[in-house]
Every structure is written in structure tokens, then in C-alpha cells.
Structure 1
Amino acid sequence: MPRNIQTQQEFLSDVYKMDYPRRGKAIVINNKQFRSHLQLPDRNGTDQDASALSCRFAELDFDVELKNDQTVQQMLTLMKQVAAEDHSDADCFACAILTHGEDGEILNPFKGNKCETLAGKPKLFFIQACRGTQFDDGADLNVADASGIQDVEMGPPTTIHKIPAEADFLVAYSVVPGFYSWRNSTNGSWFIQALQHHLEQHGRDMDLLRILTRVNKSVAYNFQSNTSHPNMSRKKQIPCITSMLTKEVYFTPKD
């Protein structure tokens, strides 16, 4: 399989190279209904999430594939199949998983030499799923000025050897570990609503991590649960962005 060979200039750049012939593949896994033995409720509202996110990915020049109601084994098999493909002419890879359940091993097929043609390229995962059963009660906010922290600039490396196997991943979770992730049965999940909105507004002109910071703000400030169950009402949520990216991600338009 062809390797992803980067020039010295590309390696030292602070922005990922995004002028390959293709943007790359975006997989949207939309799990709404589950096998009866799992005793999991239907995820009403997830079709709205899947449709909106598929549109946003397509607008950003991804080749979008939508997969519905996948088992854990089917998802793992799909990821292995995608990782085995030749991504030499692609900028990056993206995957959105809309499901019940907690953390899995979905990233492993793309790590290190398992997927050589995505080495050094962004591998972006967006996961809408509960990571526990706790509810976030929120906290009162007192606004105050905060002083900035001066950055320390490191000199560039002089020799290219290897990059870490875990490098160049971004995993955007809908919620922090241990907590419940909210979804509206009509409008979709809070996280995907905010994500698709900010990708539509700034997907072409803003670094992805800046976009996700705005997503965090939208979910934290603009959403609050409103149910007939007192122990589930007036609850909050904050997404959790885990970045191992080494450069900035800009979805520059394709010609």
C-alpha cells in the first residue's frame, strides 16, 4: 500500500496540507434502533442529526457515506475496511458516530502503521453518545476578567524521523466522561445541533479547534433540559474535545 510521504516543508508547517485531489471520506454511523436483547430505547431525533451532519460534511467536500443501525462488530469491521483503503490522494478522514453506549476501540485501526496513507493527516471523530449516567446540575456563573498566559515558542525540529502513533487524531465527544448526553426527540442532540451550525457558519474560514470551542460554548450556554421529571430538569452539558492534532485544520475549498 502506498505510504503518505510528506516533504520537509509540509512537515514543519503549522497548518495541515489540505490541497490533495480529494478532501477524503466521511463516515456517518447513525444508530437509531437496537437489537431487542440490548433493551435500549430508540434514539428518536438521531435522523435529524445524521442528515444535518451529512450535509455539512458534503459542503466541506467530503465523500459522505451514511451507515444506519450498525452493531459494535459491524462498526469495528467498517473502520478496519476504511483504514485499509488507499487515502494517498485525500486530505484527511472524518467519522461521526451517533449511538448509545460509551467509549470503544474505534480509533485503533487508524493508528501508527495500520493506516499508512493517513499518517500525518487529520483523523477526525465526532461521537454523540452517553458516557455515563450522571447529570450535570450546572453552576452559577460570576464573570470576571482573566489575564492571559504567554506562549513559549519552540524551535522546529531539524530532522524528520517518526511521528507518534497517536498523533493527528481529534475526538470530539458530546459530553465529558461519566455524564449523560442530551438529545431532543424532534431537533436532535444538543452537540450535533451546535456542531452542524458552526460548521455551516465557519467551516470554510476557521480552524477546526476554534470551531469546536464555539460548539462547547453553544452547548454550555444555550441548552438546558426541560422535562416533567424533576431529577432530570434544568440539567446542563459540556462537550469534551480531545485533540492530538499537531497542526491547524482548515477546510479550504476545492477547485
Structure 2
Amino acid sequence: MTQKQKQTNILQETFTSLGYEVKRFLHLTVENIMHILGQVAHMPQHQDYDSFVCILVSRGGSQSVFGVDQTHSGVPLDHIRRMFMADACPSLSGKPKVFFIQNYVTSEGQLEDSSFLEVDRPSVKSAEFKVRQPGACMIHREADFFWSLCKADVSLLERSSPSPSLYLKCLSQKLGKERKHSLLELHIELNSKVYDWNSRVSAKERYCVWLQHTLRKKLILSCK
């Protein structure tokens, strides 16, 4: 079993226990990634659920993920996020859209030396609102995103060690044990664990974590 397969098994168990219907896809080309994400973004079943979670584990560049074909351009992360915005994916409008991305950056990507947490909300003054239908409340196209991106050197993925990504391991542990805490609180605790790790290891072993969110309400992932 490969490193990424072990990681996805852990995550599948975690989110299944949280009541999510989990579908996983392994060893995808760039074309496959785009096709599957496009299909998922247009699933009518979204209207029957309260939230959506997407987890990506891949090699990549500084702002993109690669497929197994390892094309130089890959899939831009910004493009992935736009596919699920309210105007492109109306069935998820007003619902939390949660992304956890473990990106193993190749030599072509740029990796910062330290862990960093960023919480970003759009300015109300600069927001552009779109009314979906008469009488509907106005929801910004970028509202209700939770975007957690972790970058690590690709050498960590290629090691023979059976240990999963520190980021994904902490994520699973936090979601599995502390279900009364909001997702934002859990992520702050996760980031603290990563910071502690980074202070004790070499630059090649460090994880860099970014969080951007536009959640309008406190989000707690817990199976009823």
C-alpha cells in the first residue's frame, strides 16, 4: 500500500464516522481530475446535504496540483475553487464548502520555510452580490468556503516511512476526538501542532499551512 493510499484510508474512516458519504479516486491524470471535479460540482444531490468536503492529496507546484501524468502546468488551485463558487455551483450556494489540500511541492514549486496561518474574509464593501432568484437572500459567490492548504516538500511523500502526512494525521485526530469544537478552532490547534513540528526538524521536513475561510456561521463537523 502506498503512502497516499494509507492517508486516504485514514481520511475515509474519519469522514465516514462523521456521517459523510465518501467517494475516493486514486492515481488520476490532470484530465481525470478536471473531469471528476466538474461532475462533482454539478451533482444535483448537493441540494439534499448540509455541507460538502473535498480532500486533495497530490504532488504539485506552488499554486497547482499535478496528476499522475505530471504535466508541468497541472490544475490551478484557484480554478478548483472557482468551480464550486455559488455562480458555478448553485446547488451548494449558502452551504459550507470545505477543502483540505495536501500538496507535495516538487522542485518546480516554491515552498516557504515556516508554517503560516491566514484567516481571510472578503470585505463587505467590496463584495459583489448575485441574486439567484426573486425573493432569495443575497449570497456572495465566494461565501461559505473553508480552504485549508498544506504544502510539504515532495521528498516526504517519497520516503519509505509508513507515517502519513503530519497535517492529515492531525486533521483526522482532531476531527475524530474533538467534535464539539468548531472547525476553525480545530484548525488553529492543528496549526499549532505543525508549528511545533517545524521548530524541531530540518527545512525539508517542514509543513506550511494556509487557511482562508469565508464561513458565515460556526461549523462543527459531528455525526448526530
TM-score, length-scaled by structure 2: 0.72
Q: State the alpha-carbon separation in 1 of the partners of residues 94 and 9 from structure 2.
A: 30
Task: Tell me the equivalent position of 1:88.
Answer: 47
1:161 to partner: Cα distance: 4.0
Q: What is the total number of aligned residue pairs between the two structures? A: 182
Are residue 245 (structure 1) and residue 215 (structure 2) matched? yes
Task: Tell me the equivalent position of 1:141.
Answer: none
Superposed CA RMSD in Å reads 2.5
Q: State the alpha-carbon separation in 1 of the partners of residues 223 and 60 from structure 2.
A: 35
C-alpha deviations, 1:218-242, integer Å up to 9, x for none? 111135446xxxx74xx53331111
1:217 to partner: Cα distance: 0.9
Are residue 119 (structure 1) and residue 93 (structure 2) matched? yes
Whether the 8 Å contact between 2:167 and 2:194 is mirrored in structure 1 is: yes
- Alignment partner of 1:170 out of 146, 152, 166: 146
Task: Tell me the equivalent position of 2:196.
Answer: 221
TM-score, length-scaled by structure 1: 0.64
Task: Tell me the equivalent position of 2:129.
Answer: none
Whether the 8 Å contact between 1:127 and 1:172 is mirrored in structure 2 is: yes
Whether the 8 Å contact between 2:150 and 2:208 is mirrored in structure 1 is: yes
Whether the 8 Å contact between 2:94 and 2:143 is mirrored in structure 1 is: yes
How many percent identity over aligned positions? 25
Task: Tell me the equivalent position of 1:17.
Answer: none
Whether the 8 Å contact between 2:14 and 2:172 is mirrored in structure 1 is: yes
1:119 to partner: Cα distance: 0.4
Note the residue ranges of structure 1 that are not aligned, 5 or more in a row.
1-31, 33-43, 139-158
Name whichever structure is richer in strand by fraction.
Answer: 2
C-alpha deviations, 1:66-113, integer Å up to 9, x for none? 100111221111111111112111011101000000332212221122
Task: Tell me the equivalent position of 1:45.
Answer: 3
Q: State the alpha-carbon separation in 2 of the partners of residues 128 and 169 from structure 1.
A: 17
Task: Tell me the equivalent position of 2:73.
Answer: none
Are residue 196 (structure 1) and residue 155 (structure 2) matched? no
Decide whether aligned partners of structure 1 residues 239 and 137 sit closer, same or farther in structure 2, where only a CA change above 3 A counts: closer
1:200 to partner: Cα distance: 1.1
Structure of greater Rg: 1
Whether the 8 Å contact between 2:146 and 2:214 is mirrored in structure 1 is: yes
Q: State the alpha-carbon separation in 1 of the partners of residues 111 and 43 from structure 2.
A: 39
1:137 to partner: Cα distance: 6.7
C-alpha deviations, 1:202-221, integer Å up to 9, x for none? 1x211001111111111111
1:160 to partner: Cα distance: 6.6
Name whichever structure is richer in helix by fraction.
Answer: 2
C-alpha deviations, 1:125-183, integer Å up to 9, x for none? 10000353446278xxxxxxxxxxxxxxxxxxxx97421111111111113xxx63745
1:251 to partner: Cα distance: 2.2
Task: Tell me the equivalent position of 1:110.
Answer: 84
